[in-house]
Amino acid sequence: MMNRRTFLCGLTLGALAAPLGGEAQQAAKVYRIGFLSLLHGPGPFEEVFRQALRELGWIEGRNVAFEYPYATIHTKLLGLLHETLPDVTRVAFIVDTTSGPGRRNRDALQAAAPSLALTVRVFDHRRGTEFEFEGALQAVAREQVGAVIVMAVNYEVHGPRIAEVAAKARLPVFSLSDIAVERHFGLLAYGPDWLDMYRRAATYVDKLLRGAQPADLPVQQPMKFNLTVNLKTAKQLGITIPQVVLLQATKVIE
């Protein structure tokens, strides 16, 4: 495995990719491609990208390997859920498993769950299909689960409805999205500090504009993470947030 990396950052309206250079044509070398996205790697876009690479001769597992660092963030979120609700053993996860990132997030949570004595019950839906998301949400409300994890992207469209169902079912909601906690009855959110990432991205672009070669710059990953806790939601649900969790919080809503 080579230590040189190519970095691809998927944004809402654009992408930035570091060129591999002519030496990449040597099939014996395996290059790592880091895929980050504000929407956690939109499945359809990602699949188009991967297919285009295959058509150009870059085959996953042969001469390229993909990295998706957000799986570890979901694992951390699951750990915080366990610290907050130690008596909970069954957790629901609403996710679109037709997308690559959705499947990886599902796999990461299910792999981490046994070490915390948790079972993750997956409720699938197809992104963009309101009927299917509503069905998944109602199914969660009927299940014997102690908490639910909702992908951040779902709050763009379904935030108010998630809050309504969660409040009625008295179901603690965990997410990577601060919006979930600040506006939509979420109990706890953990994820990267996007403002800090954009500030650091400006420094990265500055180096490129001043002549630095992309291949010479290291892959950038989130350095700061936010943990937001909503004590108002906790009070409504009759939950006492442990001090060990509150001490980690970067923002507490009272």
Percentage of the chain exceeding pLDDT 90: 33
Domain locations along the chain: 5-67+194-216, 70-192+224-253
Looking at the chain, the whole-number percentage of residues with pLDDT higher than 70 is 79
pTM of the full structure? 0.74
Q: What number of other Cβ atoms are within 10 A of residue 113's Cβ?
A: 20
Q: Which residue has the higher pLDDT, 65 or 100?
A: 65
Fold assignment, 70-192+224-253: Rossmann fold (3.40.50)
Residues β-bridged to residue 33: 6, 66
Query: Could you tell me which residues come within 8 angstroms of residue 66 by beta carbon, excluding any fewer than 6 positions away?
Result: 32, 33, 34, 35, 50, 60
2 pLDDT tier (thresholds 50, 70, 90)? very low
Mean pLDDT of the chain: 80
